[in-house]
Each structure stands twice: as C-alpha cells, then as structure tokens.
Structure 1
Amino acid sequence: MITDMGGAVVSIPQDNGPIADLWYAHNEITIMLGGGDRIAVSAESPADSPWLFHFFSALKRAHTGIRPDTASAEDLLARHIALVFVSSQAKAEELRGAGLPALSAEYATQADLLRSLDMTAQALGTDEAARTTALFHQKMAEALSLLQTRLATLPEQNRPRVLHIARLDPLQVDGSNTLVDAWITAAGGRNVATVSGNHRPVSAEQILVWNPDIVIVDASAGAVPATSPLTALPALQTGRWWRNPRGIFAWDRYGCEDLLQLYWAATRIQPKLFSDINIRALTVTFYQTFFHVSLTDDEVTRILSGNPPARQASDNVQAKKEKNL
C-alpha cells in the first residue's frame, strides 16, 4: 500500500506491468528511477519535449501526447495499465473509481518534490529506484545547504525582485504556492508576482508596475515582440532578462532538473555569491549520474540556452520552409 501526494492509500500491483505517466513533468522522474521501459502511455510528445525523446528514443514506442485531463479510463484499462501517475488528486480519484491504480504525484516545494520522488520509488519497487532516490536526496540536500549557508545573512533589500514569465502570448506569469516561487526564494530572490499559482494571466502594464529587477522567461515562451510595452522594462534594457535552460524537461517548472535550476538561478540572481558555480560541469555530471547520458559540449550549450537538439532544430527550420512553399 502506498500513500500518494493527496493522502490516498493505494494498492499497487508489484508485477512490473505497463505504466501510464500522465503528468508531463513526472515522466523524467519515472525514467530517472529506472521505470522508463515500462511507460506505455505518456502525456509527453517529441514536439513538446524533444530532449526527452532525443535521449530516450524507446519512449517513441509508447502511446504519447495523451492529455492528462482527457485521458480515458476505458482506454487505459484496455491497455492493461498497472500503474498511473497524474498531477492532481481529482484525476487520481476519478481513475481509481474506474479500477485503475492511480497515484497523485503533485508538489509545489522542494520538500514535496522529494516526497513525490519517494512515493514513485516505492511504487516502482526496485532496488535501482531506491538507490537513485537516496542519491537524489543527498544531492538536493547539498544544493539547498549551499544556498542557505551563503544567503543566511543576506539582507532582504539585497534580494532582487524576480519575475518568472511562463508565456508571452498570452502573457502569463508564475506566482506564489509554486515550485517556481520556491526556487526563486531559495536562490536569493523575491518573487515580484503578487498572484498565486502557475500560468496566471497578467497584463504588460501590471508587469511594468511591478518593475522586476530580473526577468526569467520559460524557454518555450518565445521572444518579446518589438511592439510590446515590455520592451520598456529596465530589466530587459539592462540585460537582466534571461531565457531559462530546458533539458529533458523544463528546468524552471516541475521535475528532477529542479536540482540544476537551483544552481543556475543562484548564479543569475546572486552572481557575486555564486561566481564559483560551474553550471556546465554540474549539468554534465547531473545527466551522467541520474540519466546515464554523456552530453556533448554542443548539447550542454543548447540545453543551457533553452534550445532543442540540433536535429530537432534543423527539422523545425525545414518544416517552416515546407509550410511556406
């Protein structure tokens, strides 16, 4: 019996049967813990997460691109799914009502990320999952300890006001009670968005009123249009506007790459305090340790720049050319 993140106690069959991972951010956690070959249904798709499918091409054999809010219990039952991961308690309850062993994996803090990781490892039930989870706990503790130690005596006024933009069209930001808010705070900043939750709609005028010292933009958000009022933001004009890295999943959102996000954000938000952090080296070590992937220099550069794999990038250019023919 396993207690999920919503507090439900669920019986999970230990038969290594097929998995439906219906939370985008959770797929990489399942893979990191050694359960990737069991994923038969996934919310992810090559278009949404090109690095995921670049490194783990076997996932292409799964039924991909299944939206978690519309996933059919009947379809999952027909596929003999033995374990389902979702991002909400309500969806988990719905699927359990239909006879599926579903677990809610949602979280909004680093502490709850670790609890969700523990839950996933317990559900997978392998020694590999247990060992990897223990190592991840250790590395997360090291990262948080480093940040907390160096920021312990930092005056509040020396914590920059940070805005995280999830989308530019339509304009959406991330507020309190989110993992985004958690890493901004942990890395020495203050979330300037006076809203609660992810992807909250906001006007450009409101952002100008907030006037953040630093703006961090989701890798998939796109560029600021030349006609946008946001071009008047001092953060943009002074070069304190950064595109977030994106790897197997978006570092800045949910998933195990939050560990890397903490280090990267600290170097951006408090560069003087964390000038010794080599984010390229940390990135190489992280992917080798937790995903058994050896990154090339070009791949590291692309991930840190929030760009897709080289082949994916060329495919996108070709698709645009064909569309214009």
Structure 2
Amino acid sequence: MTLKFTCVASLLATVVVSTSLAAEPITFTDVTGQELTLPATPQRIVTLPNPAAATLIALDGKSDRIVGMNKGSKRAFENGMMGVIFPDTAGITSDILAESGGWMPNVEAIAALQPDLVIQWGQRGDDIVAPLRNAGLPVALMVGGGNGGTEELARANMRMAAEITGQIGKYDQLIAWRDRVMGELTAGFAQAGEVEKPRILHLRSAKSKLTATGERSYQNVFIELVGGQNVAAGLGVDGTVSAEQILEWNPDIILLSAAEGDAGLEAIYDDPLLSRLTAAENGRVYKTPQGGYIWDSASHESPFTWMWLANLAHPDLFQFDLRQELRDGFKLLYAYDLFEDQIDRILRIEMNGKQQGYQVFAAQ
C-alpha cells in the first residue's frame, strides 16, 4: 500500500514538474526585429506564409502544433513528400485567408482555431497584420517571398521557427549543412578558375501567363550561387514577360516552378515560339523538384536545390550524389528513410529523365 501511494505521488510530482516546465514563458525575436514573449511554448500555431508550416514541422520533427495553414502550403503538402511523412497534416484546415491570391487573414476563422501564435508575412503593410493583433492574437512575422529573397532572410526565418519550437540544436545542424554545400560550391569554382556562366531563366508561372523571377528573388540567389546568370535580372522580384522577350533573352537553361503544379515541360515544348529557344532545342528545360517542400522556394531544403542545379549547370565541375544526399538529408530533416521510388518522385525522373544531363540523377 505504501509502495503504491509512493508511486502515485511520484507520478503526480512528475506531472506537476512537467506542466510547470511546459508553462514557462518563452521570448524570441521575429524576423522584423520585434520581440515577443508568450506565456508558454505555443502548442497551436497558424501559419499564413507559404513556407512557414513546412519549416516549423522540419525543425520540430512533428506536425501536431500546426492547426492552420494557407491553401498554397496545403497544396505543397499534398503534392510533395510532407503529406507522406506526416499524413495527419491532411486534416489541417486551410481556410484562413480572406481572399484568394492575397494575404489578408480571415480573422474570424483564425480566432476560432484558438491559436497560441499566428505567423504572418512582415514588411507587406500593416493592413494584413493589424486585424490579427486587434483581435488579441499574438503575431510573429517572417520576411521574404514576394518581398524579395536572400539567404540571410531564409536563415532568419528558420531561426525564428527553431526558437518557437525550442530546436536551436537542430537549426545549428541545418545551418552547418547549408554551409557545407555552399563551401563545396565555392571550392569547386575556385579550383576551376574562370568558367562560362550558363544563362538561366526561372519561370514562376509558365501556363496561364509567363512570369519570370528577377534579381531580387531567392531564385536569383541560387542561380548565381551555382555559377549561372539570371537572364531576367532587372525585373525586381518578378514580372510578367512575353514569349518574344524570352526569345530575345534566349536562355541556355529554363527552370519551371514546382509551385505551378499543372505546368510541365509541354509549356515550353508545345509553344510555337518558346520551342525554338536554345534551351528547348538542347533539352535543357527542367521542372524543379519537390521534396518536403518546393525546391525553387527559399526553405529548409534549399541545399538540395543548389546541388541539383549545380550538377545541371556545370556537370564538368559538380557531380553531387543527389540520391544519397536526399537519403541523408531526409533523415536529418524528418527522421525519414526514403525509398528509391520516392527519390524518383522527388526528382521528377519520369518528367525530366530524358532532358540533357538528367541521367546523373537516375538510380544506378
């Protein structure tokens, strides 16, 4: 009887201590420099920026904190590996924006989810932030996307996610991974000396309209990182362009965004003008892969993009074993062991497999 009482008392004490620890306030700084203090580590988070949900889950190692995400994030989960690794994300609501194509929050719908924290885009005007704060909801801000993108901002967004979830150690691992790949790229170019820069066009959209990304986009960051030249430099973040303008640029390589799920290589090859481009004639049109998240967007998976594009842009300099990098990277990011057919799916072997230089990504 005494033993049973002692065990119960010990269990209750453990619960009390655990609850006390869980309820400790946390303070962190968002990407705009705003300091937030929450009464406890947030257990119910709503994310409005597209990459936020995937980034939080990757840092946290689980998905149960996310109670709302926007429809673009939800599509990325459904079309990529995130929905496979974390199948419970299929039940997360995505009706949290007041309008399609914008970032105005549906405050009533968000408040109904009883979030401990809402993550919203910063530096895009107070009109998309103030309604949330006026409703008494704590709001942390990310920066990037349509406001421009840099590697520094990508890292800052990840850092905020790590502070929110208490995963600074994992954040340090992901930064070390980024630094390692960047270092290998830098060393490769240093050893090679002067190299010819392939002229690269990234199309954010290629089906309903042609939208190219410019020098203020994160796409420009990785194009230059792998020794390429962005033919659309001068457009700012992005801009609508004509087929005639693309013909004038005549890029060596064309990248189609993973975010535009219904646009395949036919967007270029079936077009009477675009099919005449050097990139098309040489088979250097590629649909960007999608892993846990979209590879042509700034995210925790960006090193995969750098290695993928380096192999395609400079096959004489770089031969990253991307299949092994994916196996190792998914263990680090998601504690998940990829199957070979899943690697094929991520790399879009079926769609891109016959394009120039893509055989390096095939299973051996």
Distance in 2 between residues matched to 1:278 and 1:115, nearest whole Å = 28
Matched, 1:160 2:198: yes
TM-score, length of structure 1 as denominator length: 0.86
1:45 is displaced (CA, Å) by 2.1
The one of 112, 117, 140 aligned to 2:178: 140
Matched, 1:281 2:310: no
Counterpart code for 1:286: G
Matched, 1:55 2:85: yes
1:85 aligns to what SS in structure 2?
strand
Question: Structure 1 residues 300 and 150, CA, compared in 2 at 3 Å: closer, same or farther?
Answer: same
Aligned to 2:51: 25
1:11 aligns to what SS in structure 2?
strand
Question: Structure 1 residues 192 and 49, CA, compared in 2 at 3 Å: closer, same or farther?
Answer: farther
Question: Structure 1 residues 199 and 247, CA, compared in 2 at 3 Å: closer, same or farther?
Answer: farther
Matched, 1:215 2:254: yes
The one of 256, 271, 292 aligned to 2:300: 256
Question: Structure 1 residues 72 and 227, CA, compared in 2 at 3 Å: closer, same or farther?
Answer: closer
**Structure-to-structure mapping, 1:102-141, within 5 angstroms:** 102-107=139-144, 108-124=149-165, 126=166, 129-141=167-179
Distance in 1 between residues matched to 2:161 and 2:301, nearest whole Å = 16
1:152 aligns to what SS in structure 2?
helix
Question: Structure 1 residues 32 and 192, CA, compared in 2 at 3 Å: closer, same or farther?
Answer: same
* Structure number, greater radius of gyration: 2
Identity value in percent: 26
Question: Structure 1 residues 114 and 176, CA, compared in 2 at 3 Å: closer, same or farther?
Answer: same
1:272 is displaced (CA, Å) by 0.8
Question: Structure 1 residues 209 and 36, CA, compared in 2 at 3 Å: closer, same or farther?
Answer: same
Cα deviations by residue, 1:194-237 (Å, 9 ceiling, x for unpaired)? 34444521101001111111111123333226243101101110
**Structure-to-structure mapping, 1:1-325, within 5 angstroms:** 1-34=27-60, 36-43=63-70, 44-46=73-75, 49-51=78-80, 52-64=82-94, 66-67=96-97, 69-89=103-123, 90=125, 91-107=128-144, 108-124=149-165, 126=166, 129-152=167-190, 158-169=196-207, 170-219=209-258, 220=261, 221-222=263-264, 223-224=266-267, 226-275=270-319, 277-305=320-348
8 Å CA contact retained: 2:42, 2:164: no
1:162 aligns to what SS in structure 2?
strand
Distance in 2 between residues matched to 1:266 and 1:205, nearest whole Å = 28
Distance in 2 between residues matched to 1:65 and 1:29, nearest whole Å = 20
8 Å CA contact retained: 1:167, 1:199: no
1:55 is displaced (CA, Å) by 1.8
2:88 aligns to what SS in structure 1?
helix
Cα deviations by residue, 1:68-98 (Å, 9 ceiling, x for unpaired)? 6242223222321111122333334442343
Counterpart code for 1:38: R
1:273 is displaced (CA, Å) by 0.7
Distance in 2 between residues matched to 1:97 and 1:88, nearest whole Å = 16
8 Å CA contact retained: 2:215, 2:236: yes
Please list every run of 5 or more consecutive structure 1 residues that lacks an aligned counterpart in the other structure.
Answer: 309-325
Structure 1, 210-219 or 8-17: larger mean CA deviation: 8-17
Question: Structure 1 residues 97 and 145, CA, compared in 2 at 3 Å: closer, same or farther?
Answer: farther
1:263 is displaced (CA, Å) by 0.8
Structure 1, 37-46 or 178-187: larger mean CA deviation: 37-46
Distance in 1 between residues matched to 2:309 and 2:284, nearest whole Å = 12
Question: Structure 1 residues 97 and 307, CA, compared in 2 at 3 Å: closer, same or farther?
Answer: farther
8 Å CA contact retained: 1:73, 1:100: no
Distance in 2 between residues matched to 1:42 and 1:94, nearest whole Å = 17
8 Å CA contact retained: 2:41, 2:164: no
1:103 aligns to what SS in structure 2?
strand
Counterpart code for 2:93: H
8 Å CA contact retained: 1:164, 1:215: yes
8 Å CA contact retained: 1:245, 1:251: yes
Distance in 2 between residues matched to 1:74 and 1:210, nearest whole Å = 47
1:306 is displaced (CA, Å) by 7.5
1:259 aligns to what SS in structure 2?
helix
8 Å CA contact retained: 1:244, 1:306: no
Cα deviations by residue, 1:1-27 (Å, 9 ceiling, x for unpaired)? 432222323333424330001112121
Distance in 2 between residues matched to 1:193 and 1:92, nearest whole Å = 32
